[in-house]
Amino acid sequence: MNCLILGSGKIGIDLYIKCKRSKFFKNIYIFNRNKFSIGAKYCLANKFRYFNTGINGLIKNIDLNDLNLIYDATSAEASVSNYKLLKTHLNLPNFFYINLTPSSIGEYVVPYHSLKAKYKSINLITCGGQSSIPLIIELKKILPSLIYVELVSSISSISAGPATRKNVNDYIENTQSAISKLSGIKKNKVIINLNPSNPPVNMMNSIFFECKKKLHKIDFIRILKVLRTINKNIKFYIPGFNAKLFKTESKNVFRITIRVVGQGDYLPSYAGNLDIITSAAAYLPKLINEKNYH
């Protein structure tokens, strides 16, 4: 397979490195519109297959007949115009389009639950969605009285670049929408905090679960079993993932805390929030190939 990455920011570069390490792609291209950006300079210094012509110029530089997958690692706002241009100038149904921004473009997909349909346009939601939704879906199966979920994402402020800060509202709306659609829990809330502490803290999500009924010992045994399974299996593509259970004073409420330590490719290890999304994106081609969707 051959892939194209739109955007040479932190996410785009980290994704390029992960895709190259996977050895799944024959050719990897990365595009942006500003050859003077920090990311562009890094791409050139490290001899990436980099172009600064943006979408309008990629047709001249890439054999589209040999392209299988397009990653959008720009911003929520830019992804909308990117998608329109791709639909206008390319035969988009021939490609897989994977959206790493918090815009609403594409069908929500969490790699943990595989690909249940042949989606050509895929939405990876957000880091909070990718880390929490596998837990929410699995816990809903064993806790039918689950009625409310609250996700509080805390990330190091230094790992939140301009695009992340600009996309906060999109992040919240897209994560809430994905939780509702994929887990069936319509009543949910998402909060994001940028932690300015120095040294920087690792990314952490706290998920509060509320049930209609009082929880008993057998319920917590089942919850712990689900956590063990997810902690084991999700590490296939997010190695630094770890979730723990915490009880509360309320008998029908409990909390699960997720910490993710990044792999330290281009991003620092404390930027687990960004590492989640690039790890999920780099893992998807394997699923596409296994399902014979290509």
The model's pLDDT over 222-264, given as tens digits with 9 standing for 90+, comes to 999 999 999 999 999 999 999 999 999 999 999 999 999 999 9
In the prediction, which pLDDT does 115 show? 75
Residue with tokens 């943006």: 54
Whether residue 91 has pLDDT greater than 70: no
Q: Are residues 111 and 148 located together in one domain of the fold?
A: no
Mean pLDDT confidence for 96-103: 94
In the prediction, which pLDDT does 14 show? 96
Report whether the peptide linkage leading into residue 199 is cis, meaning its omega lies within 30 degrees of zero. Answer: yes
Q: Are residues 120 and 147 located together in one domain of the fold?
A: no
212 secondary structure, DSSP code: S
Q: How far is CA 52 from the centre of its chain?
A: 25
Q: Are residues 112 and 173 located together in one domain of the fold?
A: no
Q: Are residues 246 and 141 located together in one domain of the fold?
A: yes
Residue with tokens 């392209």: 67
Kindly report whether the global pTM for this prediction surpasses the value 0.85. yes
In the prediction, which pLDDT does 90 show? 67
Residue with tokens 């630094």: 240
Q: Are residues 114 and 166 located together in one domain of the fold?
A: no
Mean pLDDT confidence for 56-77: 81
What sign does the CA torsion over 227, 230, 236, 241 have?
negative
In the prediction, which pLDDT does 293 show? 61
Rounded Cα distance between 148 and 253, Å, is: 10
The model's pLDDT over 125-164, given as tens digits with 9 standing for 90+, comes to 999 999 999 999 999 999 999 999 999 999 888 887 777 7
Q: Are residues 168 and 284 located together in one domain of the fold?
A: no
Which CATH number belongs to the domain containing residue 111 in this structure? 3.40.50.720
Q: What percent of the chain has pLDDT over 70?
A: 96
Which CATH number belongs to the domain containing residue 222 in this structure? 3.30.360.10
Which residue range forms the structural domain that includes residue 239? 127-271
210-216: long-range contacts at Cβ-Cβ below 8 A with a sequence spacing of 24 or more?
210/146, 210/147, 210/148, 210/149, 210/150, 210/252, 210/253, 211/143, 211/145, 211/146, 211/147, 211/252, 211/253, 212/145, 212/147, 212/252, 213/145, 213/252, 214/251, 214/252, 215/251, 215/252, 215/254
Q: Are residues 6 and 121 located together in one domain of the fold?
A: yes
Q: Are residues 266 and 203 located together in one domain of the fold?
A: yes
Structure tokens at 140: 């809903």
Query: Could you confirm whether 127 is annotated as catalytic?
Result: yes
Across all residues in the chain, what is the average pLDDT? Answer: 90
Give, to the nearest 10 degrees, the angle between helix 127-142 and helix 272-290: 70
Q: Are residues 138 and 217 located together in one domain of the fold?
A: yes
> Please, are residues 140 and 155 in contact by the beta-carbon 8 Å criterion?
no
Q: What percent of the chain has pLDDT over 90?
A: 67
pLDDT greater at residue 10 or residue 161: 10
Q: Are residues 285 and 248 located together in one domain of the fold?
A: no
Q: Are residues 143 and 196 located together in one domain of the fold?
A: yes
pLDDT greater at residue 289 or residue 173: 173
> Please, are residues 165 and 273 in contact by the beta-carbon 8 Å criterion?
no
Which is the catalytic residue, given 3, 43, 127, 211? Answer: 127
The model's pLDDT over 160-215, given as tens digits with 9 standing for 90+, comes to 777 778 889 999 999 999 999 999 999 999 999 998 888 888 889 999 999 999 99
> How many folded domains does the chain comprise?
2
Q: Are residues 105 and 191 located together in one domain of the fold?
A: no
Whether residue 111 has pLDDT greater than 80: yes
Which H or E run contains 170? Answer: helix 168-183
